[in-house]
Amino acid sequence: MYFLKRLLLIVPLLLVISLLAFVLVRVAPGGPFDRERKPASPEIERQLKAHYHLDEPVWKQYLRYLDGLVVHGDFGPSLKYRNHTVNDIIAQGLPVSMCLGMLAFGFAMGVGVPVGYFTAIRRGHWEDYSGSLFAVLMICIPGFVVGPLLVMFFAIKWQLLPVALWASPAHAILPTMALGLYFSGRIARLMREGMLNTLQAEFITTARAKGLSENAVLLKHAFRLAVLPVVSYSGPLLADLLTGSFVIESIFQIPGIGVFFVNSMLNRDHTMIVGLVVLYATLLVLLNLLVDLAYVLLDRRVKYD
């Protein structure tokens, strides 16, 4: 019941978000057809705007947009890539971004969770210090530094991996690392905090007093609660990763959707911006819902009606 209600609430939420995005992009100065080279006569420019109904009042444009979106599920034609609809662009780019995002998510989890776990149980030892240093470094160094560094060493100096493009599984390795390393640092920190907090809890003492093996105490009892902060972080993280990254996709020339989040704004590609905002909002809401679901499964103290 609770989840059904939450699902239903998405509809008005998306309406509000799309309206806001729609109005805001039109309020922003500069339009899709403002460029170095303008049409030779103002008449041509007028026709161009009329062709995309940009000369109509905003409310009328929005109703037209909504009609297309709700009735046909159509985000409309892109104003920049004029032979593509926004649906086309998302359909081409999203799977690639999702693919890379999943890999990076798996990488971040695969590195972050163990690092956080071991730094916590080896607190105060060299494993803790080196692991924590790694985590802090990864958080501090942004992707646009990590990416080119990885390329410089792995692709150019040692010639082990391709420098860019998206053509084979080998092409995915460097971008996955470049994208995932930062998040692995965040996750390691969260995991470590969670683990340390949980280990202080009374039920852990109880478990130990009962004579359970240390592995069982740590993994079966502590880990399960300690991982909760990571789980709640993974919702927005997944939404972020699945929709691509502007920086990584530019550096590695990956045909994903991430570059469009920035470029469509710079290009004032109105339909594309609104389409992406709606897409991102939907993903975010759905993933947060999934996270709440995962809470119920992981922590039996949490219950929704």
Positions in 69-98 near another protein (CB under 8 A): 77, 80-85, 88-89, 92-93, 95-96, 98
Residues in region 188-217 near another protein by CB under 8 A? 196, 199-200, 208, 211-217
Residues in region 118-137 near another protein by CB under 8 A? 121-125
Binding to another protein by residue 259, rule CB under 8 A?
yes
Residue number with CB closer to another protein (8 or 51)? 51
- The first and second tokens of residue 265, run together, are 């704004």
Binding to another protein by residue 103, rule CB under 8 A?
yes
Q: Determine the interface stretch with another protein among 6-14, 42-50, 61-69, 130-138 (rule: CB under 8 A).
A: 42-50
Interface pattern 131-170 for another protein (x via CB under 8 A)? -----------------x--x---xx--xxxxxxxxxxxx
Q: Determine the interface stretch with another protein among 5-13, 17-25, 134-142, 244-252 (rule: CB under 8 A).
A: 244-252
DSSP state of 154: I
Residues in region 170-189 near another protein by CB under 8 A? 170-172
Q: Which residue from 136, 137, 298, 302 is in contact with another protein, where contact means CB under 8 A?
A: 298
Binding to another protein by residue 267, rule CB under 8 A?
yes
Binding to another protein by residue 39, rule CB under 8 A?
yes
- The first and second tokens of residue 117, run together, are 């776990």
In degrees rounded to 5, what are phi and psi of residue 131? -65, -40
Residue 214: count other Cβ atoms within 10 Å of its Cβ: 10
| Cα-based distances in Å from 215 to 125, 165, 218, 237, 264 | 19, 43, 5, 29, 51
CB of residue 84 to another protein, shortest distance in Å: 7
Total residues contacting another protein by CB under 8 A comes to 99
CB of residue 16 to another protein, shortest distance in Å: 26
Distance CA 185, CA 149 (A): 17
Three-state secondary structure of 231-266: HHHHHHHHHHHHCCCHHHHHHCCCCCCHHHHHHHHH
Binding to another protein by residue 243, rule CB under 8 A?
no
In degrees rounded to 5, what are phi and psi of residue 132? -70, -35
Query: Cβ distance 225 to 218 under 8 Å?
Result: no
Distance CA 296, CA 99 (A): 28
